[in-house]
Structures are given as structure tokens and as C-alpha cells.
Chains A and B, each alone.
Chain A
């Protein structure tokens, strides 16, 4: 079945460092891909999405490109801030009922 694999965390970086969180997927067809973020004490919220190959989703300085050839959707940010500390979830829309299939989440810790 469809699945999403994310890099294990926690990922610890210093402020202004470059961020990459890896996400790869297995799916039949052409799923839509998403990144959600969960800030401490809050629910998940949509960060960005891409619906077809080579699409780039972007929001709040974060970017991810839908790479069909490598079945990847890696999240990147050029210069992270302490306020980016959160858990990041990669997901694809597929499976039965086109529901979301989630990765395990990657905790990001940014130190000042």
C-alpha cells in the first residue's frame, strides 16, 4: 500500500542554518503531497502542498518540490529561526477514499 517515510528526528540546528527534512513516498498513480507542521501545544496545520510532478510548494520561507523520478518531497528552508521549532509531517493523498497517508513526523529543534 501507499506509504511515507521521513527522516528520524530530532533534527537540531542553530539559528540561520540551512534545513532539509527528507521525505520519500511509495504510491500508485500520482498522489498529491503535503507538509504539515505542529507547533508545541497546537494542532497540525498545512504548511505547503504540491499536486503534480515538478510542482514546488512554498510558504513561510519553506519549499518542497514534487520529484516523481526520486519519489521525494524534501522540505527545505534557507535560514531557520527559533520559531520554526516544531514537528513536521509529510503526507500524501492516496489510498482508499483518497485519504491522507502520514509520515511519522520529524521534530525540529532550533537553538539560538
Chain B
């Protein structure tokens, strides 16, 4: 029973398209995150939600819009995809806001052609 699951695992699409990545956690955590891992493996936080409220919004193009319908779900919608959006996107969750112990999904590899 996967704790943090994200779909799809792979996403290949054309420039200019709109796509979504879904994330769900069954750990009862209050906080969820989206991270982007670039080609050099650096992880960078994009967004953080606590109980459906946005608490961290790093410098991310507004083509990226997170949506949290409830505290167990945090989806990421990306409009007008660009080549530079190609990366691995990780969803994560934690029981508090303090980044003490994060549980990650297995990642979504996005390739924009």
C-alpha cells in the first residue's frame, strides 16, 4: 500500500500542451510538497500546502498551478509546457510544517519535446 503515490510515472508531451500530475498520500499528513529535480539531480522546492492552504510558493512560473482539493491530495497543473520544464517532479508529505521527515512519491519524469 503506497504511502505517497503520484501519477503518471512518465509523461511525454509536446511544447505548448497543458498537463497535470496527481499526488495522493494515505499517511494522514497535514503538509504536502512539490519538488522539481533537474538534470543535475538538484532538488528544488516549488510549493508546499498545509491543510489545503498554500504556505510556500517559490519562484515558479505562474504556468505552474498547484491544487489541493483536500489534505490528502496535491495536484500540479502545468500550462503551455516549455522545453525547460523537462525534469523529474516529486510529490512529498510530512506530518508537520517543519520539514522534519518527508515521505516522497516515486517521481514523474516529464519530457517536453
Contact = CB atoms under 8 A, between A and B. Distances in A.
Interface of A: 32, 36, 38, 41-46, 49, 87, 89, 93, 97-100, 102, 104-105
A46 B43 CA distance: 15
B41 A45 contact: no
What secondary structure prevails in chain A residues at the interface with B?
Answer: strand
A9 B103 CA distance: 24
Contacts of B55: 97
B4 interface: yes
Interface in B70-85: none
Given A93-B99, A98-B98, A100-B99, A43 B43 contact: no
B107 A87 contact: no
B99 A98 contact: yes
Nearest to A102: B43
A89 B35 CA distance: 14
